[in-house]
Structure 1
Amino acid sequence: MSEQSQFHVWVMRAAFCLLVLVILFFQILPLQTQPGQWAPPDLLIGFVFAWSVRRPEYVPPLMLAVLLMLADLLLQRPPGLYAALVLMASENLKGRARALRASTLVAELVTVAMLMVAVAVAYRLVHKVMLIDTAPMGLSLLQLGLTILSYPLVVLVTHSIMRVRKTGPGDLETAGGRI
């Protein structure tokens, strides 16, 4: 890999870290003092999945694990549970990136939605087995639905504003010789 493309990969990794930190900042910002009647979409998982499909080399597993663990700690979730589930789903998406590269946005959305549902069900199931209090089912379903519905917007922002696009045949050098 040339120095310029290697530098670009590291710049994009830093940009992803900054994006995650900005999302976390707005999630912990105390805008309301009362519990809300709705839960906003989980943009963190949306961006993790969008970047994992488009450019897997921008979100290495160790960096992603550290950022997701930080999110668990800051959002006062059980440390490592959500991070592990999202990391496993992200790695699954990275493995499917080659097939998803040639597919449409609808096929990608269906795949991502299935993984989001799997993460939400596994997270809730572990909470129930460990007798940890969970949010009401309606609120969790609303957040999951909004997260799935917001995924096309996340993809639009990722593609148009952040310039993170799916690799093509001309991107051999950046992908490490494989596409």
Structure 2
Amino acid sequence: MVDPLSSRRIAHMALFALIAAGTMFLRLLPISPVTHGVPGPDLMLAFAVAWLLRRPDYVPTVLIIAVFVLEDLIYWRPIGLWPLIVLGGTEFLRSRVRPNRSLSFPAELAIVAGVMLVMLLVNRLVLALFMVDQPVLGLELLRYLMTLVAYPFVVALSALAFGLRRPAPGDDIAFGRRL
């Protein structure tokens, strides 16, 4: 007999992988009639951060790395740089999950905005250091802002559609370990 907590954890990991595949597929579709416009948000980053801050056990490090390496391969980015930066940002947030459990949503959004901005700047710095062509800074900042605008909707979708909420302080005992 399978433990219900383990099966729920595995089901959410599979759901995260399906969301990743769906967003990558939608991003590859040629549905944008305008070539110069507002760039779309980085939905995978928003989902990864939202799920990580709500239930870090549903988004293990290996899954995050696998999703973002696959994105690098599909979108022809330098392989490994963005996953390494995302790993650093998500592990920083993972270490802060327990103290930030009682934070209000605006405070959480401010922390996420700061971490995402540092991730963007580190990515641009490393690419500039190795003289790799980069998108225009204005477009990258606009994508960053669009990701921040999409973040509350990602959190709401995760809570309403997938039942992803922060564990209550008493849930630690039910899971048998500290979350």
Structure-2-length-normalised TM-score: 0.93
After the TM superposition, which residues 11-160 of structure 1 pair with which residues of structure 2 at under 5 Å, given as runs?
11-32=11-32, 35-160=35-160
Partner of 2:97, secondary structure, is: helix
With over 3 angstroms needed to count, the CA separation of the structure-2 counterparts of 1:125 and 1:175, relative to structure 1, is: farther
With over 3 angstroms needed to count, the CA separation of the structure-2 counterparts of 1:174 and 1:61, relative to structure 1, is: farther
Residue 133 of structure 2 aligns with an amino acid whose one-letter code is D
Residue 61 of structure 1 aligns with an amino acid whose one-letter code is T
Deviation at 1:10? Answer: 0.5
Residue 13 of structure 1 aligns with an amino acid whose one-letter code is M
What are the ranges of 5 or more consecutive residues in structure 2 without an aligned counterpart? Answer: none
Partner of 1:91, secondary structure, is: helix
Q: Which moved more, 1:50-59 or 1:36-45?
A: 36-45
Paired residues in the alignment total: 178
With over 3 angstroms needed to count, the CA separation of the structure-2 counterparts of 1:9 and 1:59, relative to structure 1, is: same
Residue 85 of structure 2 aligns with an amino acid whose one-letter code is L
Deviation at 1:60? Answer: 0.6
What percentage of aligned pairs have identical amino acids? 32
Q: How far apart in 1 are the matches of 2:148 and 2:133?
A: 24
Partner of 1:97, secondary structure, is: coil
What are the ranges of 5 or more consecutive residues in structure 1 without an aligned counterpart? Answer: none
Q: Aligned-pair RMSD on alpha carbons? A: 1.6
Q: How far apart in 2 are the matches of 1:148 and 1:65?
A: 21
Partner of 1:169, secondary structure, is: coil
Deviation at 1:38? Answer: 2.0
